[in-house]
Structure 1
């Protein structure tokens, strides 16, 4: 049973691909209004876990509850309708469509009887919120990397999620751009949306995350606040080394 303040609960999630176990017995909870970070070395199973949460993969075993609903075997569409949104690391907008049209598609997704006019109004509001309003009528292929990332978040927000999954949305950004993205994510949380994100840049994790889940070799290695997990000798040995205080880069 999921209590009202728990928006996402994974219990024993396991995913095997043939003889490879990519995620093994992963359990965690996310609270309402929380920014939760998933970190770990390359190959730790982070993106596979996100694919299990979003429904791109189905677990070999284990359960997942979203806002009190068992979605362990639910489709991506069903999870989206229940309030789960996702922004991907590799951005794939509809390149020939305008920025506004791209976000409008998100606002229309899976909403029988939705009106185009209302969806466009919602899309405009999200473009203003994400700093893309001045690019509304540009084709998506004309955007730079930061604008692409903002468009990906805007499209995810257009589905009206209660929980938003972000897969390394800071990847490739310059320090000033990354800081702008941090402020955008904070604004998403301040609007009442819980955020779960994968990130490898530790200063961003430090600045954003309320709690951190550390993965290694498909398993949960540690949980806690940023300062708790970064002081854990197992985490230091498996992932962090001595690179904790580097600038965002």
Structure 2
């Protein structure tokens, strides 16, 4: 679904991402973890097209999209939900998702976009809030809206940037269930997360970054038993498995 080959990104004298390679497979939930400043969000910006890589190649669904703009990647099947949720505040929840549906697939009619938006609001637990202004939502509902807007673009691969941030433990578990339902609908998911129990419960496979590089890859148990990963997190193996 997604393949990065030697992706690097330099900002002046800072090499934020260095020679990162990984493959995401169909139907997989892949986590990218690492300490603050590891280069995780920069990597997501390279995958989604916000940044162009200094070197390396990126393939999406078998196509080379290394130099492709954001909208081309979106139309090809790449969606993204952001950590900081910024809906159109005065528009209704339903209208926000309708905008995503109209943008995601060129030629989509307004009636079709509205119908898809209602379906996604039902799937993400927001149907009862369809006619509310977006600014009236709670943080958990905002996170659900962000996922619904991304799904409205009809992605085959969905990028999630710390969508659990700021949620209480019970809310985070609701969000975990939502992400699982997204995968079960046929969408592969790549997510960044700092909350290790969420990573443990959700990820099929984990890529660990530190100082812009991949330092480990494998199952949650494999990477959190890796001494280099433990050192990068400045914790203990027991804490990571807690």
After superposition, the C-alpha distances for 1:126-147 in whole angstroms (9 at most, x for unaligned) are 0000000000000000101000
Separation of aligned partners in 2, 1:114 and 1:192: 21
After superposition, the C-alpha distances for 1:103-158 in whole angstroms (9 at most, x for unaligned) are 00000005343211111000000000000000000000010100000000000000
Q: Is the 8 A contact 1:88 1:152 kept in 2?
A: yes
Give me the TM-score of the superposition, normalised by structure 1: 0.95
Matched residue, 1:140: 134
**1:101 is the counterpart of 2:101:** no
After superposition, the C-alpha distances for 1:66-86 in whole angstroms (9 at most, x for unaligned) are 000000000000000110000
**1:73 is the counterpart of 2:67:** yes
Matched residue, 2:240: 244
Gapped regions of structure 2 (runs ≥ 5): none
Please state how far the C-alpha of 1:13 moved relative to its aligned partner: 0.2
Separation of aligned partners in 2, 1:199 and 1:232: 18
Please state how far the C-alpha of 1:171 moved relative to its aligned partner: 0.3
Give me the TM-score of the superposition, normalised by structure 2: 0.98
After superposition, the C-alpha distances for 1:4-45 in whole angstroms (9 at most, x for unaligned) are xxx000000000001111000000000000000000000000
Taking a change above 3 Å as real, the CA distance of residues 161 and 111 of structure 1, as seen in their structure-2 partners, is closer
Matched residue, 2:120: 126
**1:212 is the counterpart of 2:206:** yes
After superposition, the C-alpha distances for 1:183-219 in whole angstroms (9 at most, x for unaligned) are 0000000011000000011110000000000000000
Aligned positions, number: 240
SS class of match (1:109): helix
Separation of aligned partners in 1, 2:183 and 2:158: 9
**1:37 is the counterpart of 2:26:** no
Separation of aligned partners in 2, 1:70 and 1:239: 34
Q: Is the 8 A contact 2:224 2:241 kept in 1?
A: no
Equivalences for residues 228-243 of structure 1 within 5 A? 228-239=222-233, 241-242=235-236, 243=239
Q: Is the 8 A contact 1:230 1:240 kept in 2?
A: no
1:192 to 186, 195, 198: 186
**1:176 is the counterpart of 2:170:** yes
Separation of aligned partners in 2, 1:220 and 1:207: 22
SS class of match (2:165): coil
Q: Is the 8 A contact 1:88 1:166 kept in 2?
A: yes
